Amino acid sequence: MILQHHRYQDIFSKALEYEPLMREEALHLMTIPLHSEACYQLMATADLMSKQEFGFKAENHYHIGLNVEPCPLDCLFCSLTHTAGIFTEKTEFSLEQVITWAKEAEEHQADALNLMTTGTYPFEKLLEIGRILSNEVSTSLVANTRDINHHEGEELLKAGFVGAYHAVRLGEGRDTPLNRDKRIATIKVLRDVGLAWANCIEPVGPEHHDEEIVDLMLLARDHGATYSGVMRRINFPGSPMTKFGMITELEMARLVAISRLVMGKVPKAHCTHEPHSASLLAGANLFFPEVGSSPRDGIDDTGKGRGRGIEDCQHIQREMNLDPLLPSNCYRSATAANDIEKDQ
């Protein structure tokens, strides 16, 4: 037991020197028990690393789910699927509503707008909304859409997007019909064309093995994610994943801390979802206020359901002595480059 404690301390020290952790070291961190002294030292180490790299900045990336439909892709953890049977008709939020949400985000100094679509949403519609919003608000635009090729990545840039959220999900190809290699190919596309790649280890449940979780943490680091972190799976009513249960917020905070040590100097922020205080003590500084559709909710506008509003998110962050109104670390350079291009 004493030897194991020393081993944890050695890894913490290595992480604080920003030396990349090996896979075996990350897996060793996964053995740290909750409620142990080592667990709280792990969280303190992650918190210190984030304070050193991000200061006391709290990020809020405002999620807008553009459409609701019974998606035919049928990812098992998603409430928007055909099989879930929660949504039986296609609904697109009006452009006026999307602009209103975007302006609300800008008014509250959100650091980015994440525009999410279901897997079959027309890509040209996403581009058009991007073009319109880039003229309506100054907030950085981030796409969350299907796998894309280089041409489509370049079109996102032209439409005003500075980044894209794209995750290789836990259980990819098992709990989803999607191909892991194709997901990784899209991540490479984003980097090739100059879009910042945003990521999260998700959706974490008790059934996921340490190796699978750690391998996605290493993927995020090795492919240069602008931010990473951890999102737990939320079991909507009737979810086929309900039998596995859910991890607690404290368990998520422990994983957030491990992810932070693994990421080292690579990220410009570190995320957790859904918003809560515990992970803000464990290296997280990024929340996602939510409106519109959400794969974790059973109503069409999650802003009236599970989704936390931006004022609520900022309140939680301030209670943890973080400042959401400091300049963003994530997309500042990309936004400035876009502004110069527009002026020319």
The pLDDT score that the predictor gives to residue 16 is 98
Q: pLDDT by residue (tens digit) across 308-328?
A: 999 999 999 999 999 999 999
DSSP E strand stretches across 145-281: 161-165, 196-198, 201-204, 227-232, 269-273
Give, in degrees to the nearest 5, the angle at Cα 229 between 77 and 121. Answer: 45
Average pLDDT over residues 216-238: 97
What pTM does this model have? Answer: 0.95
Tens digits of residue pLDDT in 7-34: 999 999 999 999 999 999 999 999 999 9
C-alpha to C-alpha distance for 330 and 268, rounded to whole angstroms? 5
Q: What percent of the chain shows pLDDT beyond 70?
A: 95
Q: Report the Cα 255 to chain-centroid distance in Å.
A: 14
What pLDDT does residue 6 have? 83
> CB of 49 within 8 A of CB of 15?
yes
CATH C-level class of 2-343: alpha beta
